[in-house]
Amino acid sequence: MNRKTMSVAIALTLALTTSGSVLASPSSTSLDSIKQQKQDLQVKVEKLDTQISQVMSQIDKNKKDIKTVSSNIDNNKKKLEESQNNIQKQQVLFNQRAKAMYINGVDSYIGVILNSNSLTDLISRIDTVKRVMGSDQEVINDLKDKQEQLALQKQKLNSDNNKLQSLKTDNESKLAKLNSDKSSEKNLIADLDKKEQTIAATSTNSSDNSKVIAAANDVQKIRNEAPSISRGGSAAAASSSSIVAYASNFLGVPYVWGGTSPSGFDCSGLVQYVYAHFGISLPRTSQEQQCVGTAVSRENLQPGDLVFFGSPAYHVGIYVGNGSYINAPKTGDVVKIASVDRSDFSGGRRVK
C-alpha cells in the first residue's frame, strides 16, 4: 500500500471515528449522551459477537459429534446383521448335524451314546457328545451375548444421537436469537450515528477525537519512517513501531466475523494475524489472548501492547499511542483507530 493510499485509509478511519463533540455548545449534553449510548450499544454488540463465536464453535463441534455417532450407528447396524447371520449359520450347521443323525437312525445325542459297541466306544462317544454339545452351546451363547451387547450399544447410540440433534436445534435457535439481537443493536447504532453526525456538523472536535487524530498522525509518521513494512513482508523484529506500522496496513479492511486474513478480520483475528507476522503465536480468541504476556495498566501502555475490553474480554485491539488503538470493531464496520477511553476497558498485555 503506497503512501497516497495509506493517507486515504487514515483519512477514512478518521472520518469513521471522528464524530465531533462540543466545548460550550448548547448541544453538548445531547452529543455526550449519544456518544455514551453508542458506546453502550457497541459493548453489547461486541459481547454478542463473542457469544455468537462461542455458539458457532459449539455448533461445529456438535456437527462433528453427530457425524461420529452416525458413523458408529452404521457400523453397529452392520455388526448386528453380521451377528444375526452367524447365528443363522450356526443354526444351519446344527440342523445339518441333526439331519445326519436322523438318516443314520439316531434321533438324539443320547441315541449316539446308546448305539455304542463297547465300553471304550461308549466312553469315546460320551466324550464326543460332550464336546459337540459344549461347543454348540458355547458358540450360541457367545453369539447371543454379542448380539445383546450390540443391541444395547444401538440403544445408547440412538439416545446419543437424539441428544445431539436436540442440542443442534437448541444451538441453532440460540444463534438465530443472537443474530437477531445483534441486528437490532446495529440498527440502533446506525440511528445514533445519524443523530451524532447532525449535531457534530456544528460542533468542534472533542478531546477524545483530538487524541484519535494525533494517534493517526503518529501512525502515519511511523509508516513514513518504516516504508519497507508491508502486508506481504517477511517476519521482522517485533518493536513498538514495527507492530503499529504493520497493523496500520489493514486500516479500512472490512470487519468479518471469524475473519483471520486481510480479506476481512474480526478483533482477535486482526491481533493474531499482526503478531504472527513477527513470529509471535497468539491464541485465537480475545478471552485467550487476555491471558498471555504481562499485564499493563492504562497509564503504562506502550504502542504495540494489546488492549482489552470486558472481563473475560469480548474485544481486543493494538495500542498505537495517544490513548488510541487499532481494532476491528463490528460487522458492517472496518479496521480503524479509536479511543481506548471506554468504561469497559479491562487492561493491557505486553507480549512482544
Q: Verify whether residue 277 is a known catalytic residue.
A: no
- Whole-angstrom distance, CA of residue 43 vs CA of residue 330: 10
- CB count within 10 Å of CB 139 equals 16
Amino acid letter at 270? L
The grid cell for 165 is: 440433534
Which listed residue (76, 267, 277, 322) is catalytic? 267
Instruction: Please give the C-alpha separations between residue 95 and each of 106, 129, 338, in angstroms, as whole numbers.
Output: 14, 16, 86
Which listed residue (62, 171, 209, 315) is catalytic? 315
Instruction: Judge whether 285 and 314 are in contact, CB under 8 Å.
Output: no
The grid cell for 260 is: 483471520
- Whole-angstrom distance, CA of residue 293 vs CA of residue 282: 10
Buried b (16+ CB within 10 A) or exposed e, 66-96: beebeebbeebeebbeebeeebeeeeeeeee
Q: Verify whether residue 315 is a known catalytic residue.
A: yes
Buried b (16+ CB within 10 A) or exposed e, 17-54: bbbbbbeebebeeebeebbebbbbbbbbbbbbbbbbbe
User: Which residues participate in catalysis according to the annotation?
Assistant: 267, 315, 327
